[in-house]
Amino acid sequence: MKITIKDIARMAGVSTATVSMVLNNKDEHISALTKEKILSLAKEYNYIPNTMARSLVTKKTKTIGLIIPDIANPFFPEIARGAEDKANEAGYNIIFCNTDDNIEKEQKYIDMLSEKMVDGIIFTASSDRNNSLDKLQRQSIPIILLDRDIPFKGDVGRIVVNNKQGTYEGTKYLIEKGYKLIAFINGNIANETAKHRLAGFKMALQEYELEIKAERMLEGSFKREWGYGAASWLLNQEIPFDAVVCGNDLIAIGAIRALKDGGKSIPEDVAVLGFDDIYMSKLVEPELSTISQPKYEMGYRASELLISMIEKEKNMDRIIVFDTKLVIRKST
Amino acid sequence: MKITIKDIARMAGVSTATVSMVLNNKDEHISALTKEKILSLAKEYNYIPNTMARSLVTKKTKTIGLIIPDIANPFFPEIARGAEDKANEAGYNIIFCNTDDNIEKEQKYIDMLSEKMVDGIIFTASSDRNNSLDKLQRQSIPIILLDRDIPFKGDVGRIVVNNKQGTYEGTKYLIEKGYKLIAFINGNIANETAKHRLAGFKMALQEYELEIKAERMLEGSFKREWGYGAASWLLNQEIPFDAVVCGNDLIAIGAIRALKDGGKSIPEDVAVLGFDDIYMSKLVEPELSTISQPKYEMGYRASELLISMIEKEKNMDRIIVFDTKLVIRKST
DNA sequence: ATGAAAGCGCTAACAT
DNA sequence: ATGTTAGCGCTTTCAT
């Protein structure tokens, strides 16, 4: 049997307005006595405010939506954790949604979230063929585009990492270490991220006047199985290579396995460089060198930016660009 | 500028009641014509129902809370994914919360969730010194206790795995393979889970009349660092052992590393058995044999049970016990 | 087949 | 310092 401000008002012999004010600390002109009375009554009867009722009038729900492809993909848990931590600090809750990069699911979730009147959305968009964003904008729900920087001209916040710079530096490092025949196993190139990573790779080769050979640049998906398949293919085709930079760590982990199965030793015969720095990159053997993204912080800052947009703070940058960090372990 | 049923009612020249009924498919006695009119108006103006207003009267929010220690812990993403998938199928959203096994955070989240009027909560409880559950029960919010089966006499659903049976079978397998000096590196024994896993281990030793030596049973935390430390200690103390079963995979992965650093080869010198079957157990070298829990399904069934409790279905079991499955890979 | 009206629990002017 | 009132957007009897 839930108790409401009405009940408390009756018991305290005051109006609901008074109770509401006290309970929301807008109590400048409330006498200490009634304040006391209300507070103790609230405690005694274990009063729990009904935020739905509040939200209905204030138009704020203190909840934000987090739309990602898949929480079970090792790249996302840390991001989600960062986002949740900041949200929680600021008194917000997070509703999380897994889209599997499927546009219909994205649309459906976006609809659900806007029905739930979330105050804002953090969105890892699968692609830009997506009118959901326009829909959201029309409702003027603040949006943060996270990780995947799709072209969208609306007023959104962006959290991106400098992918091109990342592979550029990683590849450069390899070149300066003396590797000359460097392959690139990419994820799905429909993805902006994949494009930028490839661009950084090429840029480094160009700068050092190394040949950019198509047969050494493979494109597939951001999965371990693809990394395994691609590296095996390179081996089977007897395409010469002494290093391979990978679109992400999962690909790299698959590639390492294929290389080892093919009798290569790492990094002596072939160096392998990953991207992301997921938890398990420290656990494979040899430990994976990788281009690290600050995942936790990306999530954290995404929430932070979103909340500042929600609360209409001025003068903050709408775009935060993170630099990657080259982490050298044992595979290069 | 959001549009409401009131607007639609005005435009269609009908009452809000009629609009509400049509939009909720309670339209048995509504003429096809007005139905049509309302539906097309709703579409044209891109009507989005305000679920807060709805919830205020129906007392249902179609959202459920998921309280776990840490989404960045590799054990939880799959569970969360399973829970979210089922919730989504049934039209529910999930609010997720990370407690770090910290009681204050648990309490705070539980309060937030009950203010948000979630329809139910899936809860991985850190301990039973916790009156939050009573609080929830008083509000008659359905609860599922997931994974950690704390003693609580209220009316809750439970999703548990047969931990004792798991380590029993795993240990038995090791014994039958000929291992005789089996160590056990456990997590924090304050935890019911840890207790049961230890009990299964002992049971197997007993059954085969193997000595249960205290020096071979270590207790720490469910972390990789502890696994490394514990295995190193065993080595340094020159305590004889030819196999080690671990409280979870993270511990096992740490132990493998320590053993390798100590010059042991696995499984020739020492066999290592994990528990959980997290994603990365396939990636370490040698691939980890482990006692597998059906994490995705546990999450999925947790949502399913919770939703059936919310929707007051009868005759379903309030407790679902999952069996573990011994997965033999290369480390044993 | 449709409408009128009450009310969910709360906040926010505006009065007093 | 506190009360009155209206209303947020919706659902749900009960009438008609």
Indicate if B163-292 has the same CATH topology as B62-161+295-322: yes
- The two tokens of residue A18 are 């008074």
Distance between A111 CA and the closest CA of chain B, angstroms: 8
Contact B81 A61 (CB under 8 A): no
**A26 vs A276: which has the higher pLDDT:** A276
DSSP string computed for A49-79? --HHHHHHHH----EEEEEES-TTSTTHHHH
Pairing, β B271-276 against β B217-219? unpaired
DSSP code for A329? -
Q: Please state, in angstroms and rounded to a whole number, the distance separating the CA atoms of residues B252 and B162.
A: 20
A87-116 pLDDT tens trace: 999 999 999 999 999 999 999 999 999 999
Cβ–Cβ below 8 Å for A97 and B93: yes
Percent of chain A with pLDDT strictly greater than 70: 99
Phi, psi dihedral angles at B213 (to 5 degrees): -100, 125
DSSP state of A25: T
Interhelix angle A32-44/A5-12, rounded to 10 degrees, is 130
Residue B130: pLDDT above 80? no
C1’ C13 / CA B109, Å: 33
pLDDT number for residue A143 = 94
State the CB neighbour count (10 A cutoff) for residue B190: 10
B50 CB closer than 7 A to any strand C atom: no
- Segment A226-230 shows an average pLDDT of 97
Task: Indicate yes or no: CB of A55 within 8 angstroms of CB of B52.
Answer: yes
In angstroms, how far is the first alpha carbon of chain A from the final one?
65
Footprint of strand D on the protein (CB under 7 A): A 13-18, 21, 28-31, 33-35, 53, 56-57; B 2, 4-6, 16-17, 20-21, 23-24, 26, 49-50, 53-54, 56-58
- Strand C: which residues 42-71 of A lie within 7 A (CB)? 49-50, 53-54, 56-58
> Rounded mean pLDDT of B233-256?
97
- Strand locations in B69-119, DSSP E? 93-98
| pLDDT average, residue stretch B136-158 | 87
A28 confidence band (pLDDT: 50, 70, 90): confident
Sign of CA dihedral A12, A15, A21, A24: positive
Contacts with B92 from chain A: Cβ below 8 Å: none
d(CA B67, CA B71): 10
Q: Which two tokens stand for residue A128?
A: 């830009």
What confidence category does residue B132 fall into, taking pLDDT thresholds of 50, 70 and 90? Answer: confident
The rounded distance, in Å, linking the Cα atoms of B281 and A19 is 56
**How long is the CA B15 to C1' C5 vector, in angstroms?**
12
Q: Which residues of A touch B97 (CB under 8 A)?
A: 84, 88, 93
Taking the C-alpha atoms of residue A183 and residue A171, their distance in angstroms, rounded to an integer, is 10
Residue A245 φ/ψ, nearest 5 degrees: -105, 140
A177: its two tokens: 């270490």
Rounded-to-integer distance, Cα B71 and Cα B81, Å: 10
In the structure, what pLDDT confidence band is assigned to residue B128 with cuts at 50, 70 and 90? Answer: low
For A242, other C-beta atoms within 10 Å of its C-beta total 17
Q: Is the pLDDT of residue B320 over 90?
A: yes
Beta-carbon neighbour count of residue B12 at 10 Å? 21
Question: What DSSP letter does each residue of B112-129 carry, written as one string?
Answer: HHHHTT-SEEEE--S-S-
Residue A46's pLDDT is 92
Q: Give me the amino acid identity at A298.
A: M
B273 burial via Cβ count (<10 Å: 0-12, 13-18, 19+): buried
Residues of B numbered 131-170 whose beta carbons fall under 8 angstroms of chain A's beta carbons: which are they? 135, 138-139
Distance measured from the CA of protein residue B108 to the C1' of nucleotide C5, in angstroms: 40
Q: Is the CB of B93 less than 8 angstroms away from the CB of A94?
A: no
Give the DSSP per-residue string, A237-289.
TT---SEEEESSHHHHHHHHHHHHHTT--TTTT-EEEEEE--GGGGTSSSPPE
Mean pLDDT along residues B18-33? 92
Give how far Cα B233 sits from Cα of B240, B244, B250, Å: 11, 13, 17
Stretch 50-89 of chain B: residues touching chain A, C-beta under 8 Å: 50-53, 55-56, 61, 63, 70-72, 74, 76-78, 80-81, 84-85, 88
CATH H-level superfamily of A62-161+295-322: Response regulator (3.40.50.2300)
Question: Would you tell me which CATH number, out of the four given (2.40.50.1020, 3.30.365.10, 1.10.260.40, 2.60.40.10), belongs to the domain B5-49?
Answer: 1.10.260.40
Alpha-carbon distance of A40 to A325, in angstroms, equals 54
Nearest nucleic acid nucleotide to A30, CA to C1' distance: D1
- What pLDDT digit, counting tens, does each position of A164-198 carry? 999 999 999 999 999 999 999 999 998 889 999 99
Contacts of B115 in chain A (CB under 8 A): 48-51
Q: Is the pLDDT of residue A40 over 90?
A: yes
DSSP state of B323: P
**Crossing angle between the packed helical segments B224-236 and B249-261, to the nearest 10 degrees:** 40
Judge whether A101 is closer than 8 Å to chain B, CB to CB: no
Tokens standing for residue A189: 């190139």
- Whole-number pLDDT of residue B140: 87
Instruction: Tell me which chain A residues have a C-beta less than 8 angstroms from the C-beta of B76.
Output: 77
B81-103 per-position pLDDT tens digit = 999 999 999 999 999 999 999 99
Q: Which candidate in B45, B46, B47, B51 is best for mutational testing of the A interface (most A CBs within 10 A)?
A: B51
Residue ranges covered by each domain of chain A? 5-49, 62-161+295-322, 163-292
Distance CA A290, CA A251 (A): 12
What's the Å distance between residue B47 CA and nucleotide D5 C1'?
Answer: 30
Strand runs labelled E in B38-108: 63-68, 93-98
Chain B residue numbers touching A300 (CB-CB < 8 A): none
pLDDT category at A219 given cuts 50, 70, 90 is very high
The model's confidence at residue A252, banded by pLDDT at 50, 70 and 90, is very high
Is A104 touching B (CB cutoff 8 A)?
no
Residue B153 has pLDDT above 80, yes or no: no
Examine the pLDDT at B167 and tell me if it is beyond 90: yes
At the topology level of CATH, where does A163-292 sit? Rossmann fold (3.40.50)
What proportion of chain A, given as a percentage, has pLDDT over 90? 86
Rounded to whole angstroms, the Cα distance separating B230 from B218 reads 7
Question: How many Cβ pairs within 8 Å bridge chains A and B?
Answer: 125
**What pLDDT does residue A230 have?**
97
Contact A93 B97 (CB under 8 A): yes
Flag whether pLDDT at B170 surpasses 90: yes
Q: What is the pLDDT of residue B133?
A: 81
Count CB atoms within 10 A of the CB of residue B5. 22
Q: B280: nearest CA in chain A?
A: A280
Q: For residue B129, what pLDDT band results from cuts at 50, 70 and 90?
A: low
The minimal CB distance from A115 to the residues B46, B48, B116 is found for B48
Interval A123-141 mean pLDDT: 80
Determine the distance in angstroms separating the CA of A282 from the nearest CA of chain B, rounded to an integer: 10
Q: What length is written for chain B?
A: 332
Q: Which nucleotide is the nearest neighbour of B57, by CA and C1'?
A: C8
What is the mean pLDDT of the segment spanning A193-220? 96
Q: Which residues in chain B have their CB less than 8 angstroms from residue A116's CB?
A: 51-52, 63, 93
Interacting residues of A115 by C-beta distance below 8 A, sequence separation 6+: B48, B49, B50, B51
C-alpha distances in Å from residue B165, one per residue of B191, B198, B302, B321, B327: 17, 10, 21, 11, 14
Q: Judge whether residue B315 has pLDDT over 80.
A: no
Inter-chain residue contact A81 with B96, CB threshold 8 Å = no
